[in-house]
Amino acid sequence: MIRVNENYSKLQSSYLFSEIVRRVKAYQADHAEKKIIRLGIGDVTEPLPPACIEAMHKAVDEMAQRTTFRGYGPEQGYPFLREAIAQNDFQARGTQIEADEIFVSDGSKCDTANIQELFGDKLTIAIPDPVYPVYVDTNVMAGRTGKNTKGRYKGLVYLETSEANGFVPALPEQPVDLIYLCFPNNPTGATATRNQLAAWVKYARENKALILFDAAYEAFIRDPTIPHSIYEIEGARDVAIEFRSFSKTAGFTGTRCAFTVVPKTVVAYTKKGEAVPLNPMWNRRHTTKFNGVAYPVQRAAEAVYSEEGKTQTRALTDFYLGNAAIIRSTLAELGYSMTGGENSPYIWVNVGKDSWKFFDKLLKRAQVVTTPGAGFGRCGQGFIRISAFNSRENVEEAMKRLRKVLK
Ligand SMILES: *Cc1c(COP(=O)(O)O)cnc(C)c1O
């Protein structure tokens, strides 16, 4: 008898974004004439940088000629891309990461989920609250949690964050084995200082724990004191895996290219306490289950590191940060407190009441879609996330409407 993975039945039924879609559809059905502005889902709106387009066109032409055609490439990514990443994202910043520690993939969402295959099934997992739902749900699917009661899964250690700790979690009071951290954060837009990250690295070293560091938004960092990578912290090479993506950096959400950094010194332990390096394990997993990112896409990603590519991607993130500044100043003027939006494309606003009620109010009275904070965890109640990923015109129009409705 074919059996089903019953862990799936533990998942909470309404996934945040499908509930938003449902409410927006229901509203639109009765108000077809109203123009809705979406500042909800975290997807980019601006086209790919010209340098990426040019590189991709050239690569497509290579694929059309027998002499330059390419079939399967290395599963881990072409050396040209792995080397460009190691040099520009790490070595140029003084961090010691080599090309063979970079694994190119088609997305950080799947990488953050797939990495769990390397770990045992009885782990104590620390999850920040609020959090990007993927970390939690994929652990539920893998059977690493108990049932959900009142919005929390049994067996997970929730790291609560709030305005009081600047949405940077304190170290756990009980020992944990696996720690998820994401900075600049989705959904709160919070960033972690060097000292805050150093405390986590020290904790992981002392407790033989592992940090999964999601740096999908590092390209939005403007404050020169904020680390772009966990490897800027001494000792992190032994206790952290980092996830990066071209999705938000260069508008690759529909093009698909990301990478995971697994240093050769990072380890996990056997039951007997023997250290096992994770780099060869991830290499084995990646080469067995993945067949590489499309050649033209890898060429487009490589172009992000060319002189023009650097200027163009900087302009792209500057553009979204310009939107974020407009959102921030409007909400400040209306008397709201918030985090994010300065080194991140998300603004996390304290709305002082039920997030879904506030969401409905903005939808029905301003026709502006936001993301209710409660959808990211219990500690997100009372907040909404506003995304800066949109055209300038839409952001300005949305803020004009908010001024009217929230005055
Ligand atoms: C958008 C995002 C990613 C990137 O996901 P891709 O699969 O690479 O597009 C990763 N982590 C977080 C928290 C994100 O918001």
Domain extent listing, the chain: 6-47+308-406, 53-306
Give me the mean pLDDT over the 187-202 stretch: 98
- What's the mean per-residue pLDDT of the chain? 96
Q: pLDDT band at 381, cuts 50/70/90?
A: very high
Q: Homologous superfamily of 6-47+308-406 in CATH?
A: Aspartate Aminotransferase, domain 1 (3.90.1150.10)
Q: What is the pLDDT of residue 18?
A: 85
Q: Is 253 in the pocket of ligand 1 (CB under 6 A)?
A: yes
Q: Average pLDDT in the 19-42 region? A: 93
Stated pTM of the model: 0.97
Which residue's CA is the closest to the ligand 1 atom numbered 4? 108
131-155 pLDDT, tens digit each: 999 999 999 999 999 999 988 999 9
Ligand 1 atom nearest residue 109's Cα: 7
CATH of 53-306, picked from 1.20.58.1030, 3.40.640.10, 3.60.10.10, 3.40.1710.10, is 3.40.640.10
Mean pLDDT of 32-40: 95
Find out whether 244 and 273 touch, Cβ atoms under 8 Å: no
Is the minimum distance from the CB of 186 to ligand 1 under 6 angstroms?
yes
Please report which confidence band the pLDDT of residue 165 belongs to, taking 50, 70 and 90 as the band edges: very high
pLDDT above 90 covers a percentage of the chain that reads 96
Instruction: Say what the pLDDT of residue 13 is.
Output: 66
pLDDT tens, residue by residue, 305-343? 999 999 999 999 999 999 999 999 999 999 999 999 999
Whether pLDDT at 15 is above 90? no
**Would the pLDDT of 293 be above 80?**
yes
The residue with greater pLDDT, 17 or 206, is 206
pLDDT digits (tens, 9 = 90+) for 60-83: 999 999 999 999 999 999 999 999
Q: Which of 41, 104, 109 to mutate to test the pocket of ligand 1 (most atoms within 8 A of CB)?
A: 109
Atom of ligand 1 nearest to the CA of 182: 13
> Is the per-residue pLDDT at 22 higher than 80?
yes
Averaged over 149-170, what is the pLDDT?
Answer: 95
Question: Could you tell me what percent of the chain has a pLDDT over 70?
Answer: 100
What does the pLDDT average to over 104-127?
97
Ligand 1 midpoint to CA 290 (Å):
19
pLDDT given at position 14:
61
- Predicted confidence at residue 150, as pLDDT, reads 87
Distance 407 CA to ligand 1 centre (A): 34
Whether residue 167 has pLDDT greater than 80: yes
Mean pLDDT on 286-294: 98
Going from the Cα of 250 to the center of ligand 1, the distance in angstroms, rounded, reads 12
